């Protein structure tokens, strides 16, 4: 039941700033943000990523500095992605299991810099470590095999947990990996290490700059369509989410972000679990390109797109704009 014009004028509550503030349904804060950071080898190294203006790869010592910055801004969690040197990549991605790999050194650097003040999310998938750039192991026909890959992902997750990761985020889209990782974490005594599964991850054209950033773009032949989801599908995303929750995921992620807000909303309504979205590299690049072209105000685009995730039902958002947005939000 509702009144009608002129008794009802929806512009009435919009007329002043105080009233808009009072009627605001959703709010974005620094505590909604997860900041993805790229790691490279060395010390004191910053390497700008050409396709992501404003984003750099940092050596582990400087990742520690970035994490402190995040913590000071009230960003609760960072996500780490390694740019593994080409000579440490192999067909089986064995470097993922090295306890002294770039990822593990970065985790320790963040822990040394910030203690327990910040959450460390780590990506589980083999693409930063494989010579072919796929997320898993290939058979002779070039198909990414599921079960053998899951066995390696379990070891990768344990390696990260032992280095100090707080949230394991499997981004590989293999079947059954959440249960396998959860069981291994429990057996290893990592009861409080969370799993945020990339539950509905699409085979998207928006990942290009990320692949440059981790150095797998030039290596990857073909696509990831035999494991990442078809952008045409929505019901299948709900099945993926249902499975990952049943297997022990603490939270689920939808990725990419803005083009898939319908999926976020459906997941939230159906399952009532914590849902996150990844505003991916191509989305970031689009905003930066629009701002550079004078097609929109950068700060306004950043805040509006991030708020849209909250409205859709997200508990939080992974975004390369996290530090900038946190600064804007804190005034």
User: Residues in the site for ligand PBG, rule: CB under 6 A?
Assistant: 123, 125, 127, 135, 171, 207, 210-211, 224, 280-281
- Which candidate in 201, 224, 268, 310 is catalytic? 201
* Burial bucket for residue 179 (CB in 10 Å: 0-12, 13-18, 19+): middle
* Burial bucket for residue 108 (CB in 10 Å: 0-12, 13-18, 19+): middle
User: Least distance (Å) from ligand PBG to the CB of residue 222?
Assistant: 12
> Is 201 considered catalytic here?
yes
User: Least distance (Å) from ligand PBG to the CB of residue 93?
Assistant: 11
What is the C-alpha separation between 285 and 256, in angstroms, rounded?
Answer: 13
User: Least distance (Å) from ligand PBG to the CB of residue 124?
Assistant: 9
- Which candidate in 68, 108, 221, 255 is catalytic? 255
User: Are 243 and 151 in contact, with CB atoms under 8 Å apart?
Assistant: no
Between 135 and 288, whose beta carbon lies closer to ligand PBG? 135
User: Least distance (Å) from ligand PBG to the CB of residue 165?
Assistant: 15
Give the DSSP letter of residue 249. -
147-163 and 177-187 are packed helices; what angle lies between their axes, rounded to 10 degrees?
40
Between 123 and 240, whose beta carbon lies closer to ligand PBG? 123
User: Least distance (Å) from ligand PBG to the CB of residue 213?
Assistant: 8
Between 182 and 211, whose beta carbon lies closer to ligand PBG? 211
User: Least distance (Å) from ligand PBG to the CB of residue 92?
Assistant: 16
Between 32 and 135, whose beta carbon lies closer to ligand PBG? 135
Question: Which single residue brings its beta carbon nearest to ligand PBG?
Answer: 210
Between 62 and 174, whose beta carbon lies closer to ligand PBG? 174
DSSP strand pairing (56-58 vs 46-48): antiparallel
> Is 310 considered catalytic here?
no
User: Are 134 and 124 in contact, with CB atoms under 8 Å apart?
Assistant: no
Contacts of residue 101, Cβ cutoff 8 Å, sequence gap at least 6: 82, 84, 88, 95, 129, 159
- Residue of 174, 63, 177, 176 whose CA lies nearest to 120: 63
* Burial bucket for residue 146 (CB in 10 Å: 0-12, 13-18, 19+): middle
What is the C-alpha separation between 258 and 278, in angstroms, rounded?
Answer: 9
Between 34 and 113, whose beta carbon lies closer to ligand PBG? 34
Long-range contacts of 17-26 (CB under 8 A, 24+ apart): 25/311, 26/307, 26/310, 26/311
Please identify every residue annotated as catalytic: 201, 255
């Amino acid at each position: 039941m509702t009144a009608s014009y002129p008794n009802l004028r929806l512009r009435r509550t919009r007329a002043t700033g105080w009233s808009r503030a009072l009627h605001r349904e959703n709010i974005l804060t620094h505590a909604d943000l997860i900041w993805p950071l790229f790691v490279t080898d060395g010390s004191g190294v910053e390497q700008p990523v050409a396709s992501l203006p404003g984003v750099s790869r940092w050596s582990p010592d400087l990742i520690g500095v970035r994490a402190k910055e995040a913590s000071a801004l009230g960003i609760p969690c960072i996500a780490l992605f390694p740019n593994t040197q080409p000579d440490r990549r192999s067909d089986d991605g064995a470097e993922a299991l090295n306890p002294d790999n770039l990822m593990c050194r970065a985790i320790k650097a963040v822990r040394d810099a910030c203690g327990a003040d910040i959450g460390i999310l780590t990506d589980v998938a083999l693409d930063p470590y494989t010579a072919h750039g796929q997320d898993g192991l290939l058979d002779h026909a070039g198909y990414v095999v599921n079960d053998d890959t899951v066995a390696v992902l379990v070891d990768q997750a344990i390696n990260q947990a032992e280095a100090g990761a707080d949230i394991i985020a499997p981004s590989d889209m293999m079947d059954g990996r959440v249960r396998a990782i959860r069981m291994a974490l429990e057996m290893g005594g990592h009861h409080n290490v969370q799993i945020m599964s990339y539950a509905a991850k699409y085979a998207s054209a928006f990942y290009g700059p990320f692949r440059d950033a981790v150095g797998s773009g030039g290596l990857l032949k073909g696509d990831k369509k035999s494991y990442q989801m078809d952008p045409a599908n929505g019901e299948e995303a709900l099945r993926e989410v249902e499975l990952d929750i049943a297997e022990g995921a603490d939270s689920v992620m939808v990725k990419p972000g803005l083009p898939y807000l319908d999926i976020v909303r459906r997941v939230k309504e159906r399952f009532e679990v914590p849902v996150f979205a990844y505003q991916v590299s191509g989305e970031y690049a689009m905003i930066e390109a629009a701002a550079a072209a004078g097609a929109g105000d950068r700060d306004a685009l950043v805040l509006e797109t991030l708020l849209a995730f909250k409205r859709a039902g997200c508990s939080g958002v992974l975004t390369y704009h996290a530090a900038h947005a946190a600064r804007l939000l804190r005034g």
